[in-house]
Amino acid sequence: MALDAQVDLPGGYDLAVAGLANLAAQGVKIVAPPTWALVTLDARNHIVPSSYAKTARSVGLDIITWTLERSGPLATTGRSDYYYQSVTNSIHTDGDTYVLLDVLARQVGIRGIFSDWAGTVTYYANCFGL
């Protein structure tokens, strides 16, 4: 597993995306970037998989991400938090955590997610039989 913190360096996101095929070729099976690197916004401000997520999946890498619910209430301080930086304009209420989680689970296809509070991910997983 490769913990990918390269996305946090200046220009690092594009370098990380470009290096995913090389990681897979070296035998890496799983990448672990922060949640924000896996999602972006479309033209209508809907959360969608990012180029990182699409590229990782296309080269056969599984994805584990971090972290969910480390922020304060999303309607206030959490909106601008590190973990939501790529989707800030779509975050309005705490319920948007489920929107993000749904995109990560069903569209990005994450294998797992680290969370500071297990209640949300457990509830989500139970609702969808995961």
pLDDT, residue 81, reads: 80
Residue, of 124 and 81, whose pLDDT is higher? 124
- 15 touches 6 (CB < 8 A): yes
From the candidate CATH numbers 2.70.150.10, 3.40.50.300, 3.40.50.2300, 3.20.20.190, the one assigned to the domain spanning 2-127: 3.20.20.190
Res 15: pLDDT: 97
Q: For every residue of the chain, which 3-state class applies, written as one string? A: CEECCHHHCCCHHHHHHHHHHHHHHCCCCEEECEHHHHEEECCCCCEEECHHHHHHHHCCCEEEEEEECCCCCCCCHHHHCHHHCCCHHHCCCCCHHHHHHHHHHHHHCCCEEEECCHHHHHHHHHHCCC
Confidence of residue 102 (pLDDT cuts 50, 70, 90): very high
Torsion of CA 86, 109, 64, 66, to 10 degrees: 30
Residue 93: what pLDDT? 86
pLDDT tens for each residue of 42-85: 999 999 999 999 999 999 999 999 988 877 777 666 666 888 89
pLDDT of 96 over the 80 cut: yes
In this prediction the pTM is 0.93
